[in-house]
Amino acid sequence: MDNAYIPFPSKVLEVIKHTETEYTFRLEFSGDVKPGQFFEVSIPKYGEAPISVSGIGENFVDLTIRRVGVVTNEVFEKYVGDTLLLRGPYGNGFDVDLYNQGETVVIAGGTGVSPVRGVIDALSKSDDPQNKYAIVGFRSPDHMLFRDDLKVWDEKLNLTVTVDGADEGYQGKIGLVTKYIPDLPIKDVNTAKAVVVGPPAMMKFSVMGLLDKGFKEENIWVSQERRMCCGLGKCGHCRIGEKYVCIDGPVFNYTESKGLID
């Protein structure tokens, strides 16, 4: 019988530093994986943590990890060439093909950008990038992730990058992501699709903004962040109502997620 709890070693190919606390680990992996899915990553001494896939390549996956404890830069950097232990991928992930058709808006905040990075990437390469929108928010300019991607996306699709707050002299947009929802030049709100990922409050108000604008509930998807301890539907930590985020989600259609109350 298969033992799904045993992790496999994966070589760290590259470590990309985004901010003081957020790094992307490029790890050796070949196999099927979708944006929005996650891996259980063993971090020595810290145990396992569920980390969203932020990038997918032929022989690698990117995992963007936020430093949560007192872990020094040295600890992160010494992993290059080293191995991490992985299990996964787990969860349903995003159905990218679905969002490629027609008008789509992706709204993401903070580390919530990780799981939708692959989605935005696909939208930017779609046949009609003029119909694709992304509103990406960070706490401050210092908290910005995937700067190189932001530049590329900005050239291809309609990208809004905003920060909650910034020092005087900051040239970019300031304000919460919700501020930019009413102005989205959506042609047909009856068919336009939306993907929302981020902290709970940000998701709640973004969905409210979309509904106010006339988006249909069934055309909105959210991804829930919970403490997925096992990823297999056993440990119970990620349960909300009758759903287990790790196996039924983390991506839920809004018609499903609106009845899930923590």
Partner 1 sequence: MGFVMNQEEFSKTIENLSKNYRLYAPVIKKGEGRCLDEDIVRYDFVTKAEEIELELKSDYSFKEILLPLSETLFFFTENETKVADKNTSDVLVFLRSCDLHGLRRLDDMYLRNGKEKDFFYSRIREHVQFVLIGCPHSYKDCFCVDMGANKIDEGYVFTIEPKGDGFASEIKDDDFTKYFVGQSEHVKVSYVTENETKVNVPNNVPLSIYKSDFWREYDARCIACGRCTIVCPTCTCFTMQDTFYDPNGKVGERRRVNASCMIDGYTNVAGGGEYRKPHGQRMRFKVLHKIKDYKARFGYNMCVGCGRCDMVCPEYISFSTLINKLDDQIKKEAE
Q: Which residues bind partner 1 (CB under 8 A)?
A: 1-7, 9, 42, 44-49, 66, 68, 83, 85, 111, 199-200, 225-227, 229-230, 232-237, 239, 241-242, 244, 246-247, 259, 261-262
Cβ 5 to partner 1, closest distance in Å?
A: 5
Helix H or strand E segment including 255: helix 254-257
Rounded to whole angstroms, how far apart are CA atoms 232 and 253?
Answer: 21
Of 136 and 184, which has the nearer Cβ to partner 1?
A: 136
Rounded to 5, what percent of the chain is helix, strand, coil?
25, 30, 40
- 3-state SS class at 67: coil
Strands 193-197 and 104-109: parallel
> For the chain, what is the total number of helices (H) and then of strands (E)?
7, 15
Of 173 and 237, which has the nearer Cβ to partner 1?
A: 237
Rounded to whole angstroms, how far apart are CA atoms 184 and 257?
Answer: 24
Cβ 198 to partner 1, closest distance in Å?
A: 11
Cβ 234 to partner 1, closest distance in Å?
A: 5
The one-character DSSP state at 229 is S
Of 46 and 170, which has the nearer Cβ to partner 1?
A: 46
Cβ 65 to partner 1, closest distance in Å?
A: 9
Tokens encoding 125: 């390469």
Of 165 and 236, which has the nearer Cβ to partner 1?
A: 236
Of 129 and 233, which has the nearer Cβ to partner 1?
A: 233
Cβ 261 to partner 1, closest distance in Å?
A: 5
- Contact (CB, 8 A) for 214 and 187: no
